[in-house]
Structure 1
């Protein structure tokens, strides 16, 4: 099986990856928007969880990761609910980890264990201890395939970076040293850090995005409280869950109004706002291979240190959103 990705190009995949991609569990991710509720207010914010998951797998492959780690990369987000991290807001998960908390139980009740068993693998060996996969996941502020892929993918799709710059970074800017993804120079680390903070501050904190998240979360909470939906319904696709919400006239009207939100939403301030939203602190300090050792980019680049300080201040301040009726 061949797979083609807009960032990593074409790859021939092993049968186990082919069958996992063809499974109902992974195919479902094509109908889950990675940007949560954003697509309801801005159609271009339409990257799917599937595209990101396949991308993580391909990046691990490109970096020399084992087949098992590629499998873990492909499946790391398979338990995401409809609208991705919107569920974290609905269920008030401060660490934004609802999909991780339900991951093992979700996988055990899916078609994944049988597919893995067919090829001599087990979900227990590959999926339930993500810390063993040092390319796939690392705690912030380190680089990892998950963090790199969503930053580069969103940056390309939303116009923060062009394809050639991204492919140049993938060719020359990354290396694996002592089992960890590192940058090859301080300049490459600066380039990635700039994109990462543009993603976090300019996209995650975009007033239109915040408004969409707030509005949809309110509807989903009310739908739960009135038994229109159950927790299990969050494991449907975005479209399926929207169809249930639209059964109620008041929700249908609110969802239709979201389509015109771009004309009505602007940045407010602390004295005049409709919504105030702070963000989970996200920062990056890529390791750089220098003189045979790993050095934090902030020790080599004042720009990386300053970008972190400015971004953290923005996240702590949060975004004020003004919605006109």
Structure 2
């Protein structure tokens, strides 16, 4: 992922540096984008490189800065995952929010307010917390699917590279073809200039979407959600523990009666079709119309 970070940092918002050292941002280094599936024995998920919510958030901030040079929008993008708990969207399964995946997003403002380092720096920069606590307010940062936003762009580029679907030269080609355009409704959107490049990117995004919604992904996330529900019910974990790092939570589980259940989870490597029929686990559909 270092190659991707180098691409983003060709136009780097230096002013975000103090925020990166905050406790809330540093915590995201221990939360992986693969939602705990990297702990399984699946041939894909167990072999992908580290891709943390911290890496993703910095990437989103760099993309927004590249296209807007607006500090408030950039910080809103930087903070957009600051309330993400361990194992990311597995918590949406725990909270039965896996189709929308917004169960933690309303906590962003509260976390910012409680982080002294962030609040002091916002004061120095003359920016209010309300201007950076909701990235949905900025179309370049986030918009409705299937439009292309900085958030959607970053995790697609990151996963194309991490899933070994594309090489860095192809990622650079996509990134360098992007501009900001104005839609019929007057809102701005990141879009491609070249239709052939846009098509190539769109099919790449679909290939990632097939991984996000594959049987193993759905099954693995639901199994991990079951472990977390049990851990919370039996007071092995407290709600506040979900804001630790993933390794810290795993260690708590390993020192509990759920150790064998966790070990079983880590041995998962595939799913097999049952001849008696499938169990339906709905998935959030992720796709992009980039042109």
Report the TM-score when normalising by structure 2: 0.87
Aligned equivalents of 1:266, 1:86: Cα separation in 2: 18
Q: Deviations over 1:125-183 (max 9, x none)?
A: 2223x3331210011111100001001101101101111011011112x1101332111
Unaligned runs of 5+ in 1: 289-325
Task: Verify the 8 A CA contact 1:36 1:86 in the aligned structure 2.
Answer: yes
SS in 2 for 1:261: coil
| Structure having the higher Rg | 1
SS in 2 for 1:102: helix
Q: Deviations over 1:178-223 (max 9, x none)?
A: 332111132222112111111111x212333333212211011111
Aligned equivalents of 2:4, 2:221: Cα separation in 1: 31
Q: Which one of the candidate residues 131, 153, 165 is aligned to 1:125? A: 131
SS in 1 for 2:160: helix
The answer on 1:166 being equivalent to 2:184 is no
The answer on 1:61 being equivalent to 2:65 is yes
Partner of 1:305: none
Task: Verify the 8 A CA contact 1:60 1:145 in the aligned structure 2.
Answer: yes
SS in 2 for 1:180: strand
The answer on 1:193 being equivalent to 2:202 is yes
Aligned equivalents of 2:267, 2:121: Cα separation in 1: 44
Aligned equivalents of 2:219, 2:73: Cα separation in 1: 37
Q: Which one of the candidate residues 238, 255, 267 is aligned to 2:262? A: 255
Unaligned runs of 5+ in 2: 183-187
Task: Verify the 8 A CA contact 1:34 1:47 in the aligned structure 2.
Answer: yes
The answer on 1:210 being equivalent to 2:213 is no
- Count residues in correspondence: 277
Aligned equivalents of 2:164, 2:6: Cα separation in 1: 14
The answer on 1:14 being equivalent to 2:46 is no
Partner of 2:185: none
Alpha-carbon RMSD across the aligned residues, in angstroms, is 2.1
Aligned equivalents of 2:7, 2:264: Cα separation in 1: 34
190 and 267 in structure 1: CA distance in 2 versus 1, 3 angstrom threshold: farther
Say which structure is richer in strand.
1
Structure 2 counterparts to residues 1-325 of structure 1, below 5 A: 5-15=5-15, 17-41=16-40, 42-45=45-48, 46-93=50-97, 94-111=99-116, 112-128=118-134, 130-172=135-177, 174-178=178-182, 179-201=188-210, 203-249=211-257, 251-262=258-269, 265-268=270-273, 271-272=276-277, 276-286=280-290, 288=291
